[in-house]
Amino acid sequence: MVAVIVIIGILVLLGIIFAVLYNRLVGRRNQVDNAWSQIDVQLKRRYDLIPNLVEAVKDYMQYEQETLSKVTEARSAAMQAGAAGPQAQAKAESALTDTLKSLFAVVENYPDLKANQNVLSLQEELTATENKIAFARQFYNDSVLTYNNATQMFPTNIIAGMFNFATRQFFDTPESETVVPKVDLR
């Protein structure tokens, strides 16, 4: 009689542990998905800010039309690359970052522009957006790490195997971003 109660007790306990670990896996996987979408939110914010910046500097920088048009083109390319998948999008995004870096380097040559309040606050907003993109990616990678650990470590790996919780890929920086950009100040 006692043996039966003990066995039932153990089964109930195992069931509870099972449920807790399963829920933990689900929660972590959802966090990974959420973190990925959050990166998109920041990228779209950048798309919205850039036309304002180009407008603000356009009148001052008559001789820099080439730089400005490069920025606009890179932005359009990045917006369209979203449909081609994350790898293509990441490449297009880093190309856009490069054009922005060149633009800010050029702004250094125009003292009127440097002191302009509009330009300064736009610069701060763009810096903040670049940082936010970077931190969103960082948080995505952190979430992937926690999730992958859960799918691979004992005892959660048993449940992960049973319900096909696959490991996720880390976000890798595209080649062009790890290379220090050559800034042409002509």
What is the contact surface with another protein in residues (CB under 8 A)? 31, 35, 38, 42, 121, 124-125, 127-128, 131-132, 135-136, 138-139, 142-143, 178-180, 182
Whose Cβ is closer to another protein: residue 18's or residue 104's? 104
Rounded to the nearest whole angstrom, what is the least distance from the CB of residue 120 to another protein in the complex? 10
Q: How near is the Cβ of 35 to another protein at its closest, in Å? A: 7
Integer Cα distance of 130 and 100 in angstroms: 10
**C-beta separation of 42 from 140 below 8 A:** no
Nearer Cβ to another protein (26/84): 26
Q: How far is the CB of 27 from another protein (least distance, A)?
A: 12
DSSP for 153-175?
Answer: STTHHHHHHHTT----PPPPPPH
- Cα–Cα distance for residue pair 73/160, rounded to 1 Å: 44
* Nearer CB in complex with another protein: 11/124: 124
- What is the phi/psi pair of residue 153, to 5°? -90, 150
